[in-house]
Copies of this chain bind each other. A is one copy, B any other.
Amino acid sequence: MRELKDIVEAITADMAKQAERGQVADYIPALARVHPSRFGIAVITADGETIAAGDAGMPFSVQSVSKVFTLTMALNRLGTALWKRVGREPSGSAFNSIVQLESEQGIPRNPFINAGAIAVSDALLAGHDARETIGDILRFVRFLAEDDGVEIDSEVAHSEAATGFRNFALANYMKAFGNLENPVEDALKVYFHQCALTMTCRQLAMAGRYLMNAGIHPATQEAVVPPERARRINALMLTCGHYDGSGEFAYRVGIPGKSGVGGGILAVVPGKASIAVWSPGLNDRGNSKLGSLALERLAEATSWSVFTA
């Protein structure tokens, strides 16, 4: 393949020319004021090379991308007991649908839709103080990213709490089925703060390295998770990481990924690369429009799809 650097730069240049950039999320001010022209990408390869382009150094709200990290924490703490409270199947419906919860008795379909991530937040709390749990999450992500510059934007967290009526509905609904152990307010406090994590593409790609690396933290050579857990988290990202656009992303890009409504996507090529892209405009399934397109181009140019012979 061409030099990776050339590929990434060509894609970045091409993205700058795209006229149709999707809709920037506007349900909270902090997201609404991001300019649609932003595009950043950072690729960290298995041998440690980092290639970054565009707005790769600009912090953005990672939103649901954070669900990968909280799922990792929850699996490390609870092991497979977590799967009693959340499923592992694609949802077949929108990210914030409540219909499935009714027919499936308060068990969310997977940890990457909102209800599932709220259940994971609740599992992380386990009777602890919400603030403490939020601190744990922040420390974990900083450790993964090797960067204490990762922050939680409390304005975002508070805006989410003030407008997140659907999430309050989802949480109360699960509570009604006995699938939240802690007060709804505490589980949501953790959830809203994890969604308010603010990271750059560089930081996000750094934080995702253990997933391309069989669970090993490249710096410390410590096992963040055992290899089979890394593999399984990757599988969940592929089948469920893009809400009701997961099938489409697998079809076009073919790389495990997790998107957020802030326009970020973390994508993991097992054994090869950890990638973060960011462009705030979203497609009709709520995933970054140019982020998805950039990853499709990258997968094509590099043959990084996991489905490639």
Tell me if A200 counts as interface (CB < 8 A to partner B). Answer: no
In A238-280, which residues have CB < 8 Å from any B CB?
238-240, 244-248, 250-252, 254, 256, 270-271
User: Bound complex: CA of A254 vs CA of B248, how far in Å?
Assistant: 18
User: Bound complex: CA of A102 vs CA of B102, how far in Å?
Assistant: 11
- B239 adjacent to A247 (CB under 8 Å): yes
Could you say which residues of chain B place their CB within 8 Å of the CB of A92?
89-93, 100, 109
Tell me if A72 counts as interface (CB < 8 A to partner B). Answer: no
Chain A: interface residue total (CB-CB under 8 A): 60
In A84-120, which residues have CB < 8 Å from any B CB?
87-93, 97-103, 109-110
User: Bound complex: CA of A27 vs CA of B13, how far in Å?
Assistant: 53
The 8 Å CB contact of A236, one of B88, B235, B247, B305, is B247
Closest Cβ of chain B to A84, distance in Å, is 14
User: Bound complex: CA of A259 vs CA of B240, how far in Å?
Assistant: 20
- A254 adjacent to B271 (CB under 8 Å): no
- A89 adjacent to B238 (CB under 8 Å): no
Task: Output the residue of A90, A169, A214, A246 with the most chain B CB within 10 A.
Answer: A169
User: Bound complex: CA of A214 vs CA of B214, how far in Å?
Assistant: 26
- Which of A28-36, A123-131, A226-234 lies at the interface with chain B? A226-234
Could you say which residues of chain B place their CB within 8 Å of the CB of A270?
306-309
The 8 Å CB contact of A271, one of B90, B184, B308, is B308
- A90 adjacent to B169 (CB under 8 Å): no
Tell me if A157 counts as interface (CB < 8 A to partner B). Answer: no
With contacts A168-B168, A307-B235 taken as known, whether A89 is within 8 angstroms of B176 at the C-beta atoms is: no
Could you say which residues of chain B place their CB within 8 Å of the CB of A169?
98, 168-173, 176
Tell me if A139 counts as interface (CB < 8 A to partner B). Answer: no
- A248 adjacent to B309 (CB under 8 Å): no
Could you say which residues of chain B place their CB within 8 Å of the CB of A15?
none
Closest Cβ of chain B to A287, distance in Å, is 13
Residue on B nearest A245 in the bound complex, by CB:
B89
- A89 adjacent to B184 (CB under 8 Å): no
Q: A98-B173, A165-B173, A165-B184 provided; 19 other pairs, C-beta below 8 A?
A: A89-B244, A90-B246, A91-B92, A92-B109, A109-B247, A110-B247, A166-B172, A168-B175, A169-B171, A213-B309, A231-B308, A235-B250, A235-B251, A235-B305, A238-B239, A239-B239, A239-B246, A270-B306, A271-B309
Give the 3 A-B CB pairs with smallest separation, nearest first. A92-B92, A90-B90, A165-B176
Q: Provide a sorted-by-A list of 10 A–B residue pairs whose CB atoms are within 8 angstroms.
A: A87-B247, A98-B173, A110-B247, A165-B173, A165-B175, A168-B184, A232-B254, A235-B247, A235-B307, A270-B309
